[in-house]
Amino acid sequence: MTNLQRPMKRTLVEQIVAQLEELIENGTWPVGDRIPAEPELVKELGVSRNTIREAIHALIHAGMLRTRQGDGTYVCSSSSLAPALTRRLERCELSDTLDVRSALEQEGARLAALRHTPEDLERIRSAYQQVRYAWEERDFEHLIRLDYAFHSAIIAAAHNAILSDLYDSISEAVQMAVHDGSTSLELLQIHAELNEQLVKGIVARNAAGAADTVRAYIDASRTMLLQDIEGGNEIHHE
């Protein structure tokens, strides 16, 4: 028989952490905003200042809050998952990051084709048109961000909260991978063509076709990016 311990009730600090975390996750305290000062939280929650400080310290350690000397405490992440994944991805090979991106986006596209609503399609089409316009105008400065917003709209149309959280949590690493692999005109052209094909597949509720298009999209990025890294070449606009 192993030495199992009976579960303990949550401490007061843990209860406060859970409440503050909920305010961050549901957007009441959005990323970038300063949270209320300690005296205000003490009054609102009816607990000691030390309890508030311990709770805030726990969220700082989790990567959700950040203290600015003399300016207060700010929200820097909407979940504790994002900082943890970011730290983990920083230690990964780029090919591993692309593997994760491929898995998430393929499943997201497949589910989006099956589950999308008219409102989802409107957001996807709008995001796609912005990407297309940026491509036609050769607005490379904003193209990467718009491309990510387009794929995020597809992930949202999958209507799977965990999938969305995972995708959002690795957004920085994903955008870095897209930026590294999408700065050549050849790859941008491939992305433009496949994005159009992806929208058509989702609209037609062709789940397998949408997933296949994403796989082709990621494979193209992977091949060109890894070739450039192995060859020691700089990727640039022509």
Is residue 177 pLDDT above 80, yes or no?
no
CATH tag, 12-75? 1.10.10.10
Average pLDDT in the 104-117 region? 96
Judged against a pLDDT cut of 80, whether residue 103 lies above it is answered with yes
pLDDT higher than 80, residue 236? no
Highest mean pLDDT among 28-37, 114-123, 176-185, 211-220: 114-123
Most confident by average pLDDT, 5-14, 28-37, 136-145: 28-37
> What's at 175, amino acid-wise?
Q
- Domain ranges for the chain: 12-75, 82-231
Tell me the per-residue pLDDT of 71-95, one tens digit each, with 9 for 90 and over.
899 998 877 776 667 667 666 776 7
pLDDT higher than 80, residue 54: yes
Return the CATH fold of 82-231.
Four Helix Bundle (Hemerythrin (Met), subunit A) (1.20.120)
pLDDT score recorded for residue 86: 67
Average pLDDT, the chain: 82
**Residue 231 pLDDT greater than 60, yes or no:** no
Q: Quick one: pLDDT at residue 4?
A: 56
pTM of the model: 0.67
Write down the pLDDT at residue 3. 59
Residue 64 has pLDDT above 70, yes or no: yes
Residue 217 clears pLDDT 90, i.e. is over it: no
pLDDT tens-place string over residues 139-150: 877 887 888 889
